[in-house]
Each structure stands twice: as structure tokens, then as C-alpha cells.
Amino acid sequence: MATSALAAATGEPTPGDASPGVTLAAYYFPNYHPGDSRNRVAKGEGWSEWELVKEARPRFPGHQQPRVPLWGYEDESDPRAMERKIQAAADHGIDAFIFDWYYYDDGPFLEKAIDEGYLGAENNDRVKFALMWANHDWLEIHPYKKDTPYKVLYPGRTSQAGFRQMTRVAIHQYFSQPSYWRIDGKPYFSIYEINTLMESFGSVEATRNALDQFREDAKQAGLPGLHLNAVIWGTPVLPTEKTPVDPAKIVNELGFDSVTSYVWIHHVPLNDRETDFNWVKDQYMTYWERAATTFDVPYYPNLSVGWDSSPRAFQEDEFGNTGYPFTNLIVNNPPERFGAALNEMLAKARTLSTAEPIITINCWNEWTEGSYLEPDTTHGLGYLEAIRNQFSPALTNTVELPAPGAIHPFDLQCEHLADPVGIDAAQPRLSWKLAGTGRDQSQTAFQIVVASSPALLSPERADLWDSGVQKSDRNRLIPYSGAPLRTPGQTCFWRVRVWDDLHRASDWSEPGEWTMAAVGSEPWSASWILAPDDRPLLKGPEEF
């Protein structure tokens, strides 16, 4: 088993290590469990951000929503569920989770994912964990209705007493855990908003004193010190985020040990509604080169899976780039492109620095921002496998995929016919039958893909239509709603998959097809075939 930078930093091997001299740390957003007291007050009993994932829908043709988790809408505070996440991460080369850690002046928020899920998992020694203090304003944006004032539920600013209490909790409750991630023996602690931190204390000097006290308290607790990391950006994403005027100077004055990024779009504005993944990657690579020489401390580069914050937008509002969460998207980001980007970043990391590279990933599970490694029903374990293939294809994958749903589609028909020729409807209607055994046989959703070739029958490649996941029990006469079909002789290939009552996806059906006849743009009417009116009617034999 190869030993990574993480093992070197902690002095002990970790089963998730995937490549010599490299550490991969994935951010983890912990709002996918019910029972949080603040969510209960704001949203009602049992609410979690899974509700937004379920309710998301396509906002324009080709938009991939909703995203459906392959493991179902599981409770991350359940140690058994977290054990599967840890197992998948370790098997595919993730070294650490960096939890978005919310701690406001009046106490913690969303802590159950760590306290009950991760720390309760029997295999948490396989993937280290660390904290990124998410000290931003918590807004009422779950979902956000366009053109309404942003409501701050919990302000990111803290009092001096609140900051001291937060640091004590971090030191005594988390840094002492054997699976806490350390660099050079020191616990890694990241801070999301430098500006908000300084606003809390009123000056750079007072902020530096608070951080120095944090370090001293850690030493008094028997730790060798702290590795303090600052998240930096150039372009705000959340409505109340602010960009530091001179981040390199502030990082030095506050005494941080390293800097990193949370997501690519903090440095690369998305100019088009559908912005290409590789274009964003190239722009970020350029930023990385500048950051490597701008800061006097190490810059840990970031790799982002994607971006689509539309699930946090009120679904009835018209979608457009009007401000978070109504933002442009990153598209064309299948696992293959993600893996190629990782490979490029690894090569670049080794040329920009002699230190062992650390790469942060956005994100393990930012489902409502369209950036996640967790398996879904479209790509399966694809993003995780892309990581494993870049690092160590020989790693043993012990993750069991869930069984397909209890029902599956068959006998595909177009306009009541199997593989018909001569369809003259502009929007042919598609149907299928359902089969299955046992219970839970009701269809709760479907997804149809239509393409010009059987080789293109996948959601990411379908060139004629991808319906997205539609919540519906209908399986008869679903109208085609993709690209115009007006070419006589055009053959369209299609297939469908469905979801059962337990939110389990079936396998894709066998492909069906139909061939188009001429579809005119104007209506036509038939006429009788008659002899000309000026020709006499023949009443007997005539000689011609």
C-alpha cells in the first residue's frame, strides 16, 4: 500500500492512501440529516436538504435535474450510512473529509453528521477528518424566491467570547480525535471567511491576537500547535460574501500557515448559462499559477466537480443569472473529464512546488450546488473511479452497489407500435410496460433519453432529448419534447429507466426506435382523384 503525504504528516499509514506524496481532501457539506434543532424551527420536523434535491427539476432543455443519489436519501448522522461513505472514499483514494463546520455565537449547527455519523462510524480510521469553520451568514435560501430580500438567520460575525468558546470546542472535542487530520503533526483548521473574522474583532491586530491565543490554547492542551488555513477567493458566491482587498498581505499579517480555495467559481466567473467544464478548468489553472507566486505560504489547489445551484432556487421562478442561487452552470463535466483534470493538476502541482501536494476537492456531497463525488443514478461511482484510476487502479473496491429497483421497463412503444416506421407526428408519444416481483412495484419517476445513434443513449451524450428525472407514475403516451424531428427517414433511438417506491432506479431498458415520415409545417387536406370536368364521360368502348 502506497503511503501518501497524509501518512507522512501523521506518522501512520491510512488505508485510503492512493498515491505517494499526494493528499486528497474532499469538502463535506453536512445538511443531509433530519433532526437538527435549527432546521426543525425553520423548516419543520424531519427536514433536510434532501428535500431540495428531490424537488429540483429541469429549468431549460437539456438541464440535468433532479440529481438522484444512488444510495438513496440516506441519513448521514447514521453511523452505518457514514461507514459506507468512508468505505467508498477510502477505496477510491480520498484521504480526508474537510467538514463544513458551522458554529455560531449561540452554539453549533449541523453537527450531527460529524458527532453521530463520522465519529460513530467503526471505520473512521480509514479517512481522516478536519474542520473548515464555515463562518458565513446562514441565509434563508432553502429555497430562495427571486427578488425577495435575503434573510440572515444566523450571522457569521462572532463575539470574542463566542470565538474563544468555538476554539475550545474544536480543540477538546475534535483535535484530540485519533482520526483528525494533521500536517506536520499539527491539526489542520481552515477558516472560510477572513473578512467576516476581521469584522468580528474590528482590526487586523485584534484578529491576530485571537488566532495566536487559539494556537496557545492548543499547545496548553498538549498539541504541538495548529496548522491554520485560510480559504481565499476573488469572486463572491453567496450574497453576503466579501473579497479581501489584499488577501496575500492579510494572510501574512494574520499568520496563516497555508491558503486554499473552496470552489472554482470563486476565481472564475461563469459567463454563459452553460459554461464548459474544461474552459473553467483552464481559467482556474491560470489563477493557480498566480496564487502560487502571490502568497508567501503554500497554496493548496482546488478541484471542482461542477456547479449547479438551481435546486436552491424557488422552482416556480423563471431561471436566469440574477444572483445566487440563480446562477450560470458548469456543464460537460462527465467523470472522464474530471479524471483528466485531476491528472493535469497532479502534474502541475509537482512543477509549481517541491512540497508534497495537497489538493482539496469540491465536494463530497454538495448536491444542491451540483458538485459532488457521491454516486448518483447517472454516473454511478464514476467520479470516484476517475480518482482511483488516476492514482492506483489496483486499489480494491469493496463498495457494494445497491440492487436495481423492484420494477423495470420493457416493451417500448412509439404511438402504440414497437419500432414503427413512418411516424408523422412532430411529438411522438412514448410508452412502456412495467414488470417486477415482490413489493414496491409502483413507478414514482422516469427518465427518457433519445438519440440519433444507439451509441449516444446516455444522459450525458443524448443529442435529441434527455427528459431528466420526472416525478410521475405515467408510463403511457409521454410526448417527445426534444429537438425538432422533421427529416423524413430519420431514425430515433430511445430507452427509459424508472424509479420505484423506495427511490431505487431500474437498469436502463433495452433500446427502442422509430423512424420519421415527412412532417410538414403546414396542415394538409386530402382531395378526391377525379377526371377533368371538361372531358365527356365514357359510356362504352372507345378507340384510342
pLDDT in tens, 485-496: 978 899 999 999
**Mean pLDDT of all residues belonging to the chain:** 89
pLDDT at 13: 36
Q: Is residue 543 part of a domain?
A: no
Looking up cell 443513449, which residue turns up?
A: 457
pLDDT at 527: 55
Same domain, 372 and 462: no
Last residue in a domain, options 359, 389, 419: 389
Once rounded to an integer, what is the mean pLDDT over residues 389-414? 75
Same domain, 452 and 496: yes
pLDDT at 440: 53
Same domain, 355 and 236: yes
pLDDT at 540: 55
Question: How sure is the predictor about 3, in pLDDT bands with cuts at 50, 70 and 90?
Answer: very low
Question: How sure is the predictor about 9, in pLDDT bands with cuts at 50, 70 and 90?
Answer: very low
Give 440-468 pLDDT, tens digit per residue: 578 888 999 999 999 899 887 889 999 98
Same domain, 289 and 192: yes
Using the predicted structure, report yes or no on whether residue 308 has a pLDDT greater than 70. Answer: yes
Same domain, 441 and 376: no
pLDDT > 70 in the chain, percent:
88
Give 74-115 pLDDT, tens digit per residue: 999 999 999 999 999 999 999 999 999 999 999 999 999 999
More confident residue, 350 or 63: 63
125 burial type by CB count under 10 A (0-12 exposed, 13-18 middle, 19+ buried):
middle
| CA–CA separation, 89 and 24 (whole Å) | 10
Sequence-distant (6+) residues with CB within 8 A of 377 are: 68, 69, 70, 469, 497, 505
Q: Is residue 434 part of a domain?
A: yes
Instruction: Give the least confident one: 11-15, 26-30, 393-397, 518-522.
Output: 11-15
CA dihedral 479, 485, 487, 488 (to 10 degrees): 0
Last residue in a domain, options 389, 422, 445: 389
Give 208-267 pLDDT, tens digit per residue: 999 999 999 999 999 999 999 999 999 999 999 988 889 999 999 999 999 999 999 999
The C-alpha cell at 10 is 501523521
Same domain, 344 and 412: no
pLDDT at 245: 86
User: Residue 162: which H helix or E strand, with range?
Assistant: helix 160-169
What does 450-464 look like in DSSP terms, one character per residue? EESSGGG-STTT-SS
- The type of residue at 348 is K
Q: What phi, psi does 82 have (nearest 5°)? A: -65, -35
Indicate the length of the chain as a whole number.
544
pLDDT > 90 in the chain, percent:
76
- Which CATH number is 472's domain given? 2.60.40.10
Residue 413 bridge partners (DSSP): 431
Same domain, 263 and 411: no
Q: Is residue 521 part of a domain?
A: no
Q: Is residue 64 part of a domain?
A: yes
Residue 358 bridge partners (DSSP): 23
Same domain, 440 and 308: no
pLDDT at 530: 54
Same domain, 96 and 122: yes
Question: How sure is the predictor about 532, in pLDDT bands with cuts at 50, 70 and 90?
Answer: low
Number of domain units in the chain: 2
Same domain, 347 and 410: no
Question: How sure is the predictor about 437, in pLDDT bands with cuts at 50, 70 and 90?
Answer: low
Q: Is residue 317 part of a domain?
A: yes
Question: How sure is the predictor about 539, in pLDDT bands with cuts at 50, 70 and 90?
Answer: low
Q: Is residue 528 part of a domain?
A: no
Q: Which of 168-172, 317-321, 395-399 has the highest mean pLDDT?
A: 168-172
pLDDT at 531: 54
| CA–CA separation, 136 and 444 (whole Å) | 37
Q: Is residue 142 part of a domain?
A: yes
Same domain, 352 and 479: no
**Cβ proximity of 251 and 359 under 8 Å:** no
Same domain, 330 and 410: no
Other beta carbons within 10 Å of 323: 12
Last residue in a domain, options 389, 416, 433: 389
Spell out where 281-375 has E strands: 299-300, 302-304, 329-331, 358-362
pLDDT at 439: 57
Q: Is residue 77 part of a domain?
A: yes
Once rounded to an integer, what is the mean pLDDT over residues 327-356? 92
Using the predicted structure, report yes or no on whether residue 477 has a pLDDT greater than 70. Answer: yes
Using the predicted structure, report yes or no on whether residue 436 has a pLDDT greater than 90. Answer: no
The domain of 135 spans 23-389
- Which CATH number is 187's domain given? 3.20.20.80
